[in-house]
Structure 1
Amino acid sequence: MNQEKNKNLIFISFFIMLGVCILLYFSRRVIAPFFIAFALAYLLDPLVDRLVSFKLSRTLSVLILMLTFFLLALGCVLLLIPVFSMQAENLAKNIPTYVGVFQQWMRPVLDLIHGLDSARVEEFIQEGLSRFGELPMKALQFSSKFVWGSISNLFNIILMLANLVIIPVVMFYLLRDFDAINNKLLALVPPRLQAKVEEVMRDIDQVLSRFVRGQLMVAGLMGLMYSAGLFLCDTPMSLSLGMMAGLFNIVPYLGLILGLVPSVLLTYIDSQEWLSVVSVVGVFAIAQAIEGMVITPRVVGDNIGLHPVAVILAVLLGGELFGIAGMILGVPGVAVINVLLSRGIAQYKGSTLYSP
């Protein structure tokens, strides 16, 4: 009888989890800001608890914390504005140099055009004219795609602006009521299971906190590698570009794009040598290989108790299912699942279903 109940419980739990996963997947765009707000609230809750320990109300503590972060963000923006202004001035001064470089790039193309045989040019023109009749239909197709694309982009912009409002509002209420929500959820658990649930939640909390520390460590190591490599390549602003690439490395591919593109452009304009550009690309390629194969699997994986292969699989699978957000949250999500599976397996081995 107990075996039959255990089997039914396992099947019911499996289908409930499957249904929740399907629901989350199809509603991912709507619930994404709520997940972000929850993640931020979860990370900031210890700071709120620390402020509450100084005899402040929880609402006031949340307001102080959010205001502090807003002022810090505003201060960073104000500090960066002079830097951007100076770089814009340097860009304006170097425009003649950039024009000269562009002319050098285009000279082979212009020489090729001037060297073409007139008969080949006429044949090319006739072929182009023969295709001219297809333009109205192609223009109509392009117009319809453009209209639908514009509507989609407008919707995405509206959604992004709405998220900018939703995230801080939801985060405020979650931070204010974080402990109350935890207590209410725990009260729904049968009393005989509350101790086990609290133990599991503590394990999950430890895993997630170690994940955050691991990600910050990875970002710091990547910033050092990028900066050192760009310095050896004589790239202008090597320290700033390297640290920026390392900081944004927390978001997969964002740090690579923000670091590689300006580094390549500045290096080529400064040195006028393709070998230097190849060296810069090599720096980013080697750093990415080391990060993907060694640093993240070892640093993050060891911190949260995951095998390096599981870390790589979590990043790839998360990106395939949920895009950039999935790549960021894939590893901590798998770490949480690993904690639950470990507890579930231990419970299963101790049940009569495993050893009657």
Structure 2
Amino acid sequence: MVDQQQYSWPLFRRFLILCLGVGTVLMLLTYLYRSIMVGLMASAVISYIASPGINYLCEALPIARKTLVGILIFLVVTICTLGAVLGIPYIYQELLNIVQMIPEATAYAERLAKPLIDWARHSKIVPDETIEAGFRKMNLLQHVMGATDTMDGLFSRTPKVLEAAFNLAMVPLFTYMMLADKDDLRSLVKSWTPHDLHPLMRVFVARIDRVLRAVVKGQFLVAFVLSIFYMAGFSLIDLPSGIAIGAIAGICRVVPYFDVLVGLLLSSIVILTQGSGIAVFIGVLIVVAVVQSLDGMIITPRIIGDRAGLHPIVVIASVFSFGHWFGLLGVLLAVPIVAAAVVALQICLPYLQNSPFYRLPPPS
């Protein structure tokens, strides 16, 4: 039975009205400032992950919070800039080389499959129309991916480059504001919330914070760890462009199992065009199997555990759906929004069960 005194429906209804009002204002602001939303959301994610560490350092060191945050952001930006200057051009060039290999890999795979295709045509198991459609798609893929000059000139010709550069440049500033003024922002939110709703708000914030820390912090940490493992494994088996493939595959782990798809696809392209042989391909399969086993048995259970409570299918569907509707911003926000929504529904259920809708007397 639901405790009617604890789960007061009138109090919860006022809380819902407040949330709807705040949500409407946030949606309006998001629409008005949509050009900087990617940078703002990236800063929010970084601030959310870094906040516990900043709180610990502020208590341990005799330095003002704003000064400490400024120093740390300067150091992180400097390290990331050096890493980008040294690492990103190499990974980009390796990825570009892989893209240039796609037409050759497609043609090679087509030659390998020709006996099977001829047999399928002769036996009439697969309709000729289906086979021809498959060839048309492969030719289209060769045409699109073979246009590497388009890849080279993409960033120089698109007007979105200025918006992306501005968002990237604003990330340190937004992050500084969120971390340095955290207490002021919290006091502002508290002052705008009715006092009798503070306990209910604390319950929502605490439960959602517990899940989001697992989802946001955990997923990025797992992706980073798997990137290291993939790069090390692909390097050990002498896979051409193994470091770039491992880094990209690990990053794709933010979407469950997408790292396996991307890693095998890029590795297959390189192996088919470089003539690495079946031994390297078997090595790739072993590396992927070992990394996936470590991820399933040790890495994800230790880092995330069962706190997220989201099925991998839900995560995959959410990322692709939000990405389709809202682009990169949707990819960043998909999993946190869905995880927060699931927890919010779990918290809301006892209050809804105490509402007049659930408590209507049975028909006589």
TM-score by length of 2: 0.61
> Which residue of structure 1 aligns with residue 321 of structure 2?
317
1:103-252 matches, within 5 Å, as 153-211=157-215, 212-221=217-226, 224=229, 228=233, 234-236=238-240, 238=242, 240-241=243-244, 243-250=246-253
1:354, distance to aligned residue in structure 2 (A): 2.9
Quote the Cα distance in structure 2 between the aligned partners of 1:31 and 1:79. Answer: 28
1:37 lines up with 2:49 in the alignment: no
> Which residue of structure 1 aligns with residue 62 of structure 2?
55
1:285, distance to aligned residue in structure 2 (A): 9.3
Compared CA separation, residues 55 and 249, structure 1 to 2 (3 A) = same
Aligned length: 297
AA aligned opposite 2:193 = V
Compared CA separation, residues 310 and 10, structure 1 to 2 (3 A) = farther
CA RMSD across the alignment = 5.0
Query: Residue 223 of structure 1 contacts residue 246 of structure 1 at CA under 8 Å; is this kept in 2?
Result: no
Query: Residue 35 of structure 2 contacts residue 163 of structure 2 at CA under 8 Å; is this kept in 1?
Result: no
CA deviation string 1:282-316 (max 9, x = no partner)? 78998999999999998868331224443333223
AA aligned opposite 1:248 = I
1:62, distance to aligned residue in structure 2 (A): 0.8
CA deviation string 1:63-97 (max 9, x = no partner)? 1110221232244346649x959x99xx9xxxxxx
> Which residue of structure 2 aligns with residue 68 of structure 1?
75
Instruction: Tell me which protein shows more helix as a share of its residues.
Output: 1
Is the partner of 1:41 in helix, strand or coil? helix
> Which residue of structure 1 aligns with residue 342 of structure 2?
338
Quote the Cα distance in structure 1 between the aligned partners of 2:200 and 2:12. Answer: 21
**Larger-gyration structure (1/2):** 1
1:177, distance to aligned residue in structure 2 (A): 0.6
1:350, distance to aligned residue in structure 2 (A): 3.2
Q: Unpaired runs of 5+ in structure 1?
A: 92-97, 109-148
Range with greater deviation from structure 2 (291-300 or 71-80): 291-300
Quote the Cα distance in structure 1 between the aligned partners of 2:9 and 2:245. Answer: 59
Quote the Cα distance in structure 2 between the aligned partners of 1:202 and 1:14. Answer: 16
> Which residue of structure 1 aligns with residue 132 of structure 2?
none
1:89-108 matches, within 5 Å, as none
Compared CA separation, residues 230 and 168, structure 1 to 2 (3 A) = closer
Quote the Cα distance in structure 1 between the aligned partners of 2:281 and 2:319. Answer: 28
Quote the Cα distance in structure 2 between the aligned partners of 1:226 and 1:259. Answer: 11
CA deviation string 1:42-72 (max 9, x = no partner)? 2222222222211211110111110221232
> Which residue of structure 2 aligns with residue 303 of structure 1?
307
1:155, distance to aligned residue in structure 2 (A): 2.7
Pick one of 323, 330, 334 that aligns with 1:326: 330
AA aligned opposite 2:185 = I
AA aligned opposite 2:163 = L
Is the partner of 1:40 in helix, strand or coil? helix
Compared CA separation, residues 290 and 330, structure 1 to 2 (3 A) = farther
Compared CA separation, residues 200 and 258, structure 1 to 2 (3 A) = same
Quote the Cα distance in structure 1 between the aligned partners of 2:322 and 2:347. Answer: 23
> Which residue of structure 1 aligns with residue 130 of structure 2?
none
Query: Residue 39 of structure 2 contacts residue 171 of structure 2 at CA under 8 Å; is this kept in 1?
Result: yes
1:331, distance to aligned residue in structure 2 (A): 1.4
Query: Residue 242 of structure 1 contacts residue 259 of structure 1 at CA under 8 Å; is this kept in 2?
Result: yes
Is the partner of 1:199 in helix, strand or coil? helix
Compared CA separation, residues 285 and 329, structure 1 to 2 (3 A) = farther
AA aligned opposite 2:229 = L
Compared CA separation, residues 219 and 41, structure 1 to 2 (3 A) = closer
Quote the Cα distance in structure 2 between the aligned partners of 1:179 and 1:67. Answer: 21
AA aligned opposite 2:70 = L
Quote the Cα distance in structure 2 between the aligned partners of 1:32 and 1:77. Answer: 19
Is the partner of 1:304 in helix, strand or coil? coil
AA aligned opposite 2:196 = R
1:29, distance to aligned residue in structure 2 (A): 3.9
TM-score by length of 1: 0.62
AA aligned opposite 1:220 = V
> Which residue of structure 2 aligns with residue 94 of structure 1?
none
Query: Residue 245 of structure 1 contacts residue 256 of structure 1 at CA under 8 Å; is this kept in 2?
Result: no
